[in-house]
Amino acid sequence: MFIVILGGGVSGLSCAIRLQEAGHTVEVWARELSPHTTSDVAAAVWYPYRAWPQERISAWAKRTYTVLASLAQERPEAGILMVPGVEVFRRHVEDPWWRDSVPDFRRARADELPPGLLEGYHFTAPVIEMPRYLPFLMARLRELGGHIIQREVRSLDEAWASASLVVNCTGLGARDVVGDETLFPVRGEVLRVSPPPTDRFIFDDECESGMAYVIPRSRDCILGGTAEEGNASLVPDALKAQAILERNAPLLPEGAKLDVLEHKVGLRPGRPTVRLEVEVLGERVVVHDYGHGGAGVTLSWGCAEEVVQLVATHSR
């Protein structure tokens, strides 16, 4: 079956690959392609952040972890590293709801916590270097026979003119494409620094002045971050960059020297729940897969495989 996928970020490309593998003929239509997509700005580390509902997120996240871990081992060109690290707290916390998604989850030892932190979780997470990963996905899709076309689409009717079944992975763009007013931007700023000051990730979501996180990669490191709901500005804020450096300083080895290479801004597609469902309008079908909040990469393969199942039930 010929299928048009709207959106060339990590969700659209993952869906396209799985559908092409399932025997469909796929064409991705995207207003922006890597390195100019929202996905390119992602930190990006496996973590089910700002995505709901929990019961569906858990299954998608667990499946995606498995796929990313396999790619890290089997396809080094994908740019995925398996990195150990900690999430830290200033208070007593129970185990997280997503703990069973991570094979080596455990409570952090005292010597693994930065000074002043009371508790933490220790686990290994896939860290995805998006400048390598997105081109890898695009190349994989083309190897399978799929096509990628850069074009802007303002309505589903434009896609339905070419294919009776469309997969909608437009992220925040779904506000315009399908009129979804429940979507809202969650603005995030990060700094890309060098050299990597540590070989482990550290998440501190409860810092008094805002979230802080350290995500080491092969040649650089991402420091974050911010999460401003409703702010759609893509202009970097120098004051926020300075605040990110200050919040992260206590998490880094004493005396760590950093050069800021890049200051990046992106908009997460916030939504009360992820929209992954099929909509049938006569002979025309659309499968929606968007609204992943801060967990687009974390949910990508799990969601893509559910999209394949939904397509299978409506393509006979």
Q: Which residues are annotated as a binding site for D-dopa?
A: 213, 268, 294
H or E element that contains 201: strand 201-204
Residues in binding site for FAD: 38-39, 153, 170, 293-298
Computed over its alpha carbons, how large is the radius of gyration of the chain? Answer: 19
In degrees rounded to 5, what are phi and psi of residue 41?
-85, -15
CA–CA separation, 86 and 201 (whole Å): 6
Question: What is the 8-class DSSP label of residue 263?
Answer: E
CA atoms lying within 13 Å on the CB side of residue 13: 26
CA–CA separation, 83 and 126 (whole Å): 6
Residues in binding site: 38-39, 153, 170, 213, 268, 293-298
Pairing verdict, β 25-30 and 147-150: parallel
H or E element that contains 150: strand 147-150
Helix, strand and coil in the chain, % to nearest 5: 35, 30, 35
User: Pick from 176, 84, 148, 133: which is nearest to 301 by CA?
Assistant: 133
CA–CA separation, 242 and 272 (whole Å): 31
CA–CA separation, 24 and 58 (whole Å): 28
